[in-house]
Amino acid sequence: MTSATTPQQATQETVTAGARDTAEAGPGGAGHRDPGSGTWRAGIRRAIRVGARPGPWKRGPVLAALALLLGLLMLLHARITDRGGLGSLVETFLPWFGLFVPVLLTGALWRRSASAVVALLLPVTVWLNLYGGVFSDKSHPGSDLTVVSHNVNADNSDPAGTARDLVASKADVLALEEITAQAKPLYEKALAKAYPYHTVQGTVGLWSKLPLSDTRPVDTQIDYGPLGDAKPAEVTMAYNRALRTTVATDHGPLAVYVAHLGSVRVNPRTGFWTDSRDRNAQSLAKAVAAEPNERVVLLGDLNGTVADRAFADLTSQMRSAQDEAGDGFGFSWPARFPVARIDQILVRGVEPESSWVLPSTGSDHLPVGAGISW
């Protein structure tokens, strides 16, 4: 059954509906909402989003931390433990750590991180302090004697060609390392005309335009312990890796050492293995310290950079020709893309006037040269 609506009920419903319509339409008339209310709400939402977004100083905390860590690593590299050869490994390739700076800077700019950009000032300052002077040419014109050192590589397929390249350097004194018994006569024949004086002691040799005297092998403890001591001299001479001789110059005698220190290895179990090289370096440093001649030149493949702590006993008494009179880092190994200077010319009692790296030969090392004066 349908109930009838009374006049009073109809009037009440009409009034209620009208009030509802008035509230929805607002004072502007029916069907129109207040645009100010929507704009006000959107503004609040934008303000909340902006407030919640991190500012430039709060962005990129990881990048900022990495930048500080990089700077501290370069600044305090001498304090890094050498367990597993870690310290030596870092110091060997320390100049290349600067490449991380542009990588981090790119990330900082992408993230718009002011804190990361400021943090990068530390590694930039440290790197420039360590290597900023490397790119200035410190050489001086002229010299009294030109010396060249080259690891010719035991696997060199063209010893005669390498010898011809070295003759073209016009060095007065030429040191060769890693000479094999098979290649020795080839070097001797190819170098005989340019260098009338020479000596080969095991796997190292010296060729000179000036007379040599007081030549002898230097014991760098390639063999050590009871088994090493038991080997006869003729056996150990075959793989001897250092010599000492005196070059008669117009300015007086010059003691010249040629050395090829033990190789280094990287493997998962021992890390950066340097035991043999470090032992050789210590023995060589003792020999140089005992050298009575105040004028000394050391030529050779030391299998390490002069920044490596393993050579502290050597570098405390000798100077690097490249550091004193070179231009650039003077990287010498590997020949195809040199990343480290492990072939060295160190001096004592004479002045390095210039230092340079020669063009590639048939070896995996680049030759290095220097001009010295009294």
Neighbours of 133 (CB within 10 A): 10
Angle between helix axes 100-111 and 61-75 (nearest 10 degrees) is 160
The pTM of the whole model exceeds 0.85: no
The rounded distance, in Å, linking the Cα atoms of 187 and 205 is: 10
Q: What is the pLDDT of residue 194?
A: 98
- Which residues lie across from 254 on neighbouring strands? 247
223 exposed, middle or buried (CB, 10 Å; 0-12, 13-18, 19+)?
middle
The mean per-residue pLDDT over the stretch 129-137 comes to: 93
At residue 271 the predicted structure's pLDDT band, cuts being 50, 70 and 90, is confident
- Which residues lie across from 271 on neighbouring strands? 267
What's the chain's length in residues? 374
- In whole angstroms, what separates CA 80 from the centre of its chain? 16
Among 84-88, 178-182, 338-342, which stretch is predicted with the lowest mean pLDDT?
A: 84-88
Residue with the bigger pLDDT between 12 and 54: it is 54
Q: What is the pLDDT of residue 28?
A: 47
For residue 102, say if its preceding peptide bond is cis, omega within 30 degrees of 0.
Answer: no
Q: What is the pLDDT of residue 237?
A: 81
The string of pLDDT tens digits covering residues 22-47 is: 444 444 444 555 556 667 777 676 76
Highest mean pLDDT among 10-14, 266-270, 332-336: 332-336
The string of pLDDT tens digits covering residues 51-72 is: 555 678 889 999 999 999 999 9
The string of pLDDT tens digits covering residues 298-327 is: 999 999 999 999 999 999 999 999 999 999
Count CA atoms closer than 13 A to 200's CA, side-chain side.
17
pLDDT at residue 202 is higher than 60: yes
At residue 252 the predicted structure's pLDDT band, cuts being 50, 70 and 90, is very high
The string of pLDDT tens digits covering residues 218-243 is: 999 988 766 566 666 666 788 899 99
- Using a CB cutoff of 8 Å and minimum separation of 24, what contacts does 321-324 make? 321/345, 321/346, 321/347, 321/352, 321/355, 321/370, 321/372, 322/355, 322/368, 322/370, 324/138, 324/352, 324/355
Average model confidence (pLDDT) across the chain: 89
- In whole angstroms, what separates CA 334 from the centre of its chain? 13
At residue 161 the predicted structure's pLDDT band, cuts being 50, 70 and 90, is very high
The mean per-residue pLDDT over the stretch 327-335 comes to: 97
pLDDT at residue 245 is higher than 70: yes
The two counts, helices (H) then strands (E), for the chain are: 14, 14
pLDDT at residue 100 is higher than 80: yes
Q: What is the pLDDT of residue 225?
A: 64
Neighbours of 234 (CB within 10 A): 7
Inter-residue contact 182 to 155 (CB < 8 Å):
no
Q: What is the pLDDT of residue 230?
A: 60
